[in-house]
Amino acid sequence: MLNLGERPHKSNGQVVLNKDAVCLRGFAAAIAEELFLATIDIAKTTPFRQMFTPGGKPMSAFMTNSGELGWISDRRGYRYAKTDPETGLAWPPMPQVFRDVATRAAAAGGFAPFEPDVALINRYDIGARMSLHQDRDESDFTQPIVSVSLGLPAVFLWGGALRSEKPKRIELLHGDVVVWGGASRLNFHGIHPIAPNEHPLTGQFRYNLTFRRASPLRPA
């Protein structure tokens, strides 16, 4: 059994991870089904796919995007693109329910206003993981990251500014939202391999919506 020191919930539903980083327990629970259905809809036109690291390794989570830009990775590196390299078409527009939850959660985490232009969607099968990394392909690090968990539980690894810092383990459940920015914006983070389980809405998958502002707020 993992030692999940951050459970049970604090009474106000918030677990402070660090300065400028907070887990909002159940923040998206009431709209989780709507978020999930919108996700499935996006994947109908822009399917989940395995991307490759610049070093040529397949990533464990399957990904797609919605929004003005989408995050992609291949031999040429990590970057944002206006079109889906698989279809050559623009990514599907970001659903209003995505924009709303991202803006509201950012505000609850102390980052207002926040207007995402990317919703990167990760789909994890049982056993899938994400190794420790920084989100650093965006142009303006004053803008936070908002990360919504749907479906199977996960153990979020929350590290520090250096890769060598031992990460904390925080259990993320369906409807939990993590917001980080400011002093924590470039903290390392990742996902421990998803344990075998079944979720009533998503089956044997975990989904994660990660909202970012990739392009400059005021284009140069």
**Interaction between residue 21 and ligand SIN (CB under 6 A):** no
Q: Is residue 122 close enough to count as binding ligand SIN by CB under 6 A?
A: yes
Nearest-approach distance from CB 148 to ligand SIN, in angstroms: 8
Q: Which of residues 57 and 218 has its CB atom nearest to ligand SIN in the complex?
A: 57
**Can you tell me whether residue 41 is helix, strand or coil?**
helix
Joined together, the tokens standing for residue 86 give 């698989």
φ/ψ bin of 110: left (φ > 0), alpha (ψ from -120 to 50), beta (otherwise)? left
Tell me which residues in 119-148 interact with Fe ion (CB under 5 A): 135
Q: Should residue 147 be labelled a site residue for ligand SIN when binding is judged by CB under 6 A?
A: yes
CB 220, min distance to ligand SIN, A:
27
> Could you say which of ligand SIN, Fe ion, none residue 114 binds, taking C-beta under 5 to 8 angstroms by partner kind?
none
Q: What is the DSSP letter of 166?
A: P
Strands 70-74 and 77-81: antiparallel
Distance CA 148, CA 47 (A): 19
Distance of CA 71 to the CA centre of its chain: 11
Query: Which positions touch ligand SIN (CB under 6 A)?
Result: 122, 130, 147, 149, 156, 189, 191, 208, 210
